[in-house]
Structure 1
């Protein structure tokens, strides 16, 4: 018997399905668009992707969230999210591509000042990246219904003004490459989400802001930032 009740894994709705997708792990790819790498002061790295993680408790499907604690500079980062549906370990590109179950619009909310603290002191980014309600996600769309990841447009507006605008073919490391590479370090499988990186144009949010993230062919994402609790 447990000393205290443990919350169940969060789950994400799937378009056209009655069952939802339980989330066991969240992996995120850093600087996976060239222009975003440059705006963050880095040269694009074509050698291999790199990652950070968020705990499942970061998943959020709420239409509104409070401005997070411990920051004065919370940023949006619009991303394509990949949901895996089969085990993959040391996978080829073909095996990696076949393991994709679904896709979704997502926001990697970031405490930019806390992330910069970590960079300045050569410490982990956890306080900047992994916090409650920092992995916003819209309902999943099955891969077969979405089709191949190609030149679909990915955009984010804040209060009706376009802030991020790119196409998915601009990913430095495409989806099979990311999954295959990551599977060399983890036994990946159903329940694993991968946030695949954000285009240029990231920036701060403030209480009262309304955000809309869209990727052609996927359910859009709407979010309002409320005052801090």
Structure 2
């Protein structure tokens, strides 16, 4: 069981499911030679994949190409099903920073064989995550700068305004398929610049107004 804190309060949330959207930034889809889907496409990470600030992510021995993806994380604060976009933001408790670690070689191999690729996304330590800033302290979540540094070298840079599907539309689309519950987390996609990591790397992910997430790679 993993819990996250709503900063500035004593309230914690037991993390349920982690819903991740794929190809939500055009430049990222292009760098992987993928077409962005017309509608949001989701995959799941287990809550057991979460690690916190300053912890170490471990690359499984089955992969030689673990890659980083910085993402804006959205904490769901109340239950909802078939949520209209117009009221979707009322279901958000807070915003945080996540890094979606991906075993790209394993993912590509499984996709080529027509097999599910949960192993490439949901392995232990694959979801470094901060605690969450209350939604009331983020006036416009679609105007946030995202960046990721590896050993102080800038690898990724973008802005949440570049999302193909906005946060309200993502929440609405997700809730049409999955009942959203308090403590669920939505990862909203990554900008271009993903790259390979090796043991000993130090990652620093930043999102304006929210903060910094730092982890080690082993």
TM-score, length of structure 1 as denominator length: 0.91
Q: Which runs of 5+ in 1 are unaligned?
A: 1-8
Identify the residue that residue 95 of structure 2 maps to in structure 1. Answer: 103
Identify the residue that residue 187 of structure 1 maps to in structure 2. Answer: 179
Identify the residue that residue 216 of structure 2 maps to in structure 1. Answer: 224
CA distance in 1, matches of 2:60, 2:211: 25
Identify the residue that residue 39 of structure 2 maps to in structure 1. Answer: 48
Work out whether residues 53 and 130 of structure 2, in 8 Å CA contact, stay in contact via their aligned partners in 1: no
Work out whether residues 5 and 13 of structure 2, in 8 Å CA contact, stay in contact via their aligned partners in 1: yes
1:168 is aligned, of 138, 160, 163, to 160
CA distance in 2, matches of 1:144, 1:153: 18
Query: What is the CA distance between 1:122 and its match in structure 2?
Result: 1.0
1:19 is aligned, of 8, 11, 33, to 11
1:28 to 2:20 alignment: yes
Query: What is the CA distance between 1:43 and its match in structure 2?
Result: 2.3
CA distance in 1, matches of 2:82, 2:59: 39
Query: What is the CA distance between 1:147 and its match in structure 2?
Result: 1.8
Identify the residue that residue 3 of structure 1 maps to in structure 2. Answer: none
1:113 to 2:79 alignment: no
CA distance in 1, matches of 2:114, 2:105: 14
Work out whether residues 156 and 162 of structure 1, in 8 Å CA contact, stay in contact via their aligned partners in 2: yes
Q: Which runs of 5+ in 2 are unaligned?
A: none
1:105-144 matches, cutoff 5 A = 105-144=97-136
* Two-structure CA RMSD over aligned residues (Å): 1.1
1:58 is aligned, of 49, 55, 80, to 49
CA distance in 2, matches of 1:154, 1:122: 32
1:118-145 per-residue CA deviation (whole Å, 9 max, x = no partner) reads 1111111111111101111012101001
CA distance in 2, matches of 1:21, 1:147: 22
Work out whether residues 88 and 95 of structure 1, in 8 Å CA contact, stay in contact via their aligned partners in 2: no
1:140-159 matches, cutoff 5 A = 140-159=132-151
CA distance in 1, matches of 2:57, 2:45: 17
Identify the residue that residue 10 of structure 1 maps to in structure 2. Answer: 2
Work out whether residues 57 and 126 of structure 2, in 8 Å CA contact, stay in contact via their aligned partners in 1: no
